[in-house]
Amino acid sequence: MRLLIVEDEKRLALSLAAGLRAEGFAVDVVHDGAEGLHRAGTGTYDLVVLDIMLPGMNGYHVCGALRAAGHDVPILMLTAKDGEYDEAEGLDTGADDYLTKPFSYVVLVARVKALLRRRGGSPSPVLRVGALRVDTAGRRVWVGEGEVALTAKEFAVLEQLATRVGEVVSKADILEHVWDFAYEGDPNIVEVYVSALRRKLGAGVITTVRGAGYRMEER
């Protein structure tokens, strides 16, 4: 899952990004409304956290422009103001939810997850692949009856594969969704995580498709 934060208060933006990364999301941050509109319009994001008071272009206009262009990416608006008028205006321009500053980080994460769940359209966030159960909302995994502890990144890699059972998922795809756009390290990092997943979940769970990527199969 890849999120975009559009927030000009840099300390807030960076701490939100760090917190959401710790939850296993890939997070990109921009500090300007026009840049946010451009990025969000590329269609690579699963959710946008959008401040209202921004340089370049305010959040209402960014949101309105995205919707006018036909983008249905979930948008969570942040506002320093409160009051029904602002909320109504935010939802009017097509935002899916809003949060008034100051907000608790726990509430933000809960809202982000709720929006992603709603958007997924899946009534059950638990994916079943053979003997494996993957709870995408609770971020927990079981093999048979036994729960397996995964790190946030391991879980995120597994989620990319488990949501696309039967398909070949390339390393580049996994990198793009799990790491950040600024990641310039070795793309073979994906192999390290796949090895860890095989060690924890069983060797046969993830198949290597030579030269193409990885695949999980319904068994």
The count of residues interacting with Ca ion (CB under 5 A) is 3
The least CB distance from residue 8 to Ca ion, in Å, is 5
Q: Is 34:6 a contact under the CB 8 Å cutoff?
A: no
The least CB distance from residue 9 to Ca ion, in Å, is 5
Identity of the residue, 55 or 138, whose beta carbon is nearer to Ca ion in the bound complex: 55
For position 8 contacting Ca ion by CB under 5 A, the verdict is yes
For position 51 contacting Ca ion by CB under 5 A, the verdict is yes
Handedness of CA 205, 210, 212, 218 (dihedral sign): negative
The least CB distance from residue 106 to Ca ion, in Å, is 21
Q: Going residue by residue from 101 to 130, which x/- string records binding to Ca ion, judged by CB under 5 A?
A: ------------------------------
Q: Which one-letter DSSP state was computed for residue 185? A: S
Strands 2-6 and 47-51: parallel
Q: Is 116:74 a contact under the CB 8 Å cutoff?
A: yes
SS3 letters across 16-81: HHHHHHHCCCEEEEECCHHHHHHHHCCCCCCEEEEECCCCCCCHHHHHHHHHHCCCCCCEEEEECC
Q: Output Rg (C-alpha) for the chain, integer angstroms.
A: 18
The least CB distance from residue 57 to Ca ion, in Å, is 12
Q: Give the CB-nearest residue to Ca ion.
A: 53
**Region binding Ca ion by CB under 5 A among candidate stretches 25-33, 45-53, 105-113, 175-183:** 45-53
**Region binding Ca ion by CB under 5 A among candidate stretches 47-55, 62-70, 82-90, 188-196:** 47-55
Residues 6+ apart with CB under 8 A from 210: none
The least CB distance from residue 6 to Ca ion, in Å, is 9
Identity of the residue, 20 or 50, whose beta carbon is nearer to Ca ion in the bound complex: 50
Q: Which one-letter DSSP state was computed for residue 147? A: E
Residue from the set 53, 99, 165, 196 that interacts with Ca ion by CB under 5 A: 53
Identity of the residue, 38 or 200, whose beta carbon is nearer to Ca ion in the bound complex: 38
Residues making contact with Ca ion (CB under 5 A): 8, 51, 53
